[in-house]
Amino acid sequence: MKVVVIGAGLGGLALAQRLVGADVDVRVYERDSAIEARFQGYRIGLGGPGLTALAGALQPRLHPLLDAVSGLVESPGRAVDSQLTVLGEQDAVNDEGRMFDRNVLRHLLIAGLGERLRFDMKLDRYEELADGAVRAHFADGTTVDADVLVGADGMGSTVRRQLLPQIEIHDLPVYGAIGRTELAGFEHVIPGWSTVVSAKDVQLMLGRMKFQRSPVQAAAELAPDVTLPDTPSYIRWVLLLPGTPKTLDLDPVLDLIEDWHPDLRALIARADVNNSGVSPIKEGDPIEPWPTRAVTLLGDAGHPAPPGGLGANLAMVDAELLADKLIAVRDGRVEKIRALAGYEQAMCENAKTGRESAAQAFKNFAKLRAEA
Ligand SMILES: Cc1cc2nc3c(=O)[nH]c(=O)nc-3n(C[C@H](O)[C@H](O)[C@H](O)COP(=O)(O)OP(=O)(O)OC[C@H]3O[C@@H](n4cnc5c(N)ncnc54)[C@H](O)[C@@H]3O)c2cc1C
């Protein structure tokens, strides 16, 4: 059985790792030209089943490295006003969870995939063949046939748009400026895993990505065959604003914090400009099981949700569920369409949890805004 995965994001790579580990023939096709082709380095919080599923996808020899490059969920989470006056503190609810840099995680998840992962391969469309197989058509004119095609191609998924054209993506009534700034010099602003700055028209969410060990040094010692990016500990920040962006330019947004505490302004001003920008925040229609075929969806492609929810956690769980089903098909224990239908049922159930979590996060911010 041959599996083709479209998209080398966290979900697609985790699936590929599991299938390689079980000796299933799998190929991953990614549209970007390289793993570092564009900004990929925001902080991801994983906990509970998502964290367990991530560890299960990685080769056990890489577990010490995974732990070394994670960040701890340390108390206190803090709420402050725009002058850095502390409004409240909260202990971490899940201090068993871990923080990861998405770029570092992707580097870990490509380890050992070798020629099975190909870049510069943008899927244009797929074609269902008479014998139940699927043909992937790429932008460069090449095609690849598979027994199962997995769309792990993110929120804007090309696979989902063909498979489920009725699912639409729409802007939420908030938008964000997102960036990151080196942690050094700003630890006092964010003593724990997160600080939220609440003001009347804008909320600033700061997330601390403090690597327990430098990724480069940890890889050199614990798994010298793995190359990790040279990323210093940083603060991922999101300025959340009501409405939809009139421009994707950062300057008008920064004018809104002109009278804020100088340390907060400095934090934003010192952001890595290449990794900062304004973007709408989007969400997809809810997803329900559909008539199963040899094409399926995983991660944000299947349940497009805004940032700040459980997207990466769910992608890890999807990868585990789907890998188990595909291995059972390969072993002849279950028929392909039946196996995929079972996966899609579970994936759609989990997607509901993701939507609820994202909705709750946005309700919390609306409440903070109202209180400010
Ligand atoms: C700022 C921010 C913070 C976040 N924080 C968290 C968090 O704390 N916890 C959490 O659980 N989630 C978080 N998320 C969400 C999480 O990042 C996503 O849910 C997760 O990365 C989805 O993984 P994925 O593999 O499904 O898709 P993606 O990571 O989007 O990967 C999709 C891949 O498919 C490729 N692709 C797209 N189209 C094609 C095509 N046509 N052909 C070939 N390749 C294609 C893309 O280039 C990309 O590499 C956050 C998101 C953001 C933006």
Q: What is the mean pLDDT of residues 178-191?
A: 94
Is residue 41 lining ligand 1, measured as CB closer than 6 Å? no
pLDDT in tens, 262-288: 999 999 989 887 777 888 888 889 999
Is residue 283 lining ligand 1, measured as CB closer than 6 Å? no
pTM for the full model? 0.95
pLDDT in tens, 223-252: 999 999 999 999 999 988 888 777 777 777
Q: Could you report how far apart the first and last alpha carbons of the chain are, in Å?
A: 57
Domain that holds residue 162: 2-371
Is residue 30 lining ligand 1, measured as CB closer than 6 Å? yes
Would you say 288 and 348 are in contact if contact means Cβ atoms under 8 Å apart?
yes
Ligand 1 geometric centre to CA of 226 (Å): 22
Angle between the N-to-C axes of helices 311-330 and 48-57, in degrees from 0 to 180, rounded to the nearest 10 = 50
Quickly state the pLDDT bin for 41 (edges 50, 70, 90).
low
Phi-psi category of residue 367: left, alpha or beta, with phi > 0 → left and psi -120 to 50 → alpha? alpha
Task: Specify the pLDDT at position 131.
Answer: 96
Quickly state the pLDDT bin for 182 (edges 50, 70, 90).
very high
Q: In this model, does residue 148 exceed pLDDT 90?
A: yes
**If you average pLDDT over every residue of the chain, what do you get?**
92
Q: Which tokens in the block code for residue 101?
A: 């840099």
What is the rounded CA–CA span in Å between residue 142 and residue 123? 10
C-alpha 74 chain-centroid distance = 21
Any idea which of 107-121, 194-208, 242-256 has the lowest mean pLDDT? 242-256
Ligand 1 geometric centre to CA of 259 (Å): 34
Quickly state the pLDDT bin for 40 (edges 50, 70, 90).
low
Any idea which of 121-135, 223-237, 353-367 has the lowest mean pLDDT? 353-367
Is residue 304 lining ligand 1, measured as CB closer than 6 Å? no
Residues 83, 89, 93, 95, CA torsion sign: positive
CATH code, 51? 3.50.50.60
Q: Which atom of ligand 1 is nearest to the CA of 99?
A: 8
Q: Beginning with the edge strand found earlier in the chain, give each strand of the sheet holding 203-209 in spatial order.
A: 86-90, 77-80, 194-198, 203-209, 234-242, 169-182, 277-284
What is the rounded CA–CA span in Å between residue 90 and residue 104? 28
Nearest to 281 by CA among 207, 353, 359, 209: 359
Specify the number of domains making up the chain: 1
Please tell me the residue having the least CA distance from ligand 1 atom 38.
153
Q: In this model, does residue 372 exceed pLDDT 60?
A: no
Q: Please work out, in degrees rounded to the nearest 5, the angle formed at the alpha carbon of residue 182 by the alpha carbons of 43 and 209.
A: 30
Q: Which atom of ligand 1 is nearest to the CA of 302?
A: 26
Q: In this model, does residue 15 exceed pLDDT 70?
A: yes
Quickly state the pLDDT bin for 91 (edges 50, 70, 90).
confident
pLDDT in tens, 159-169: 999 999 999 99
Quickly state the pLDDT bin for 39 (edges 50, 70, 90).
low
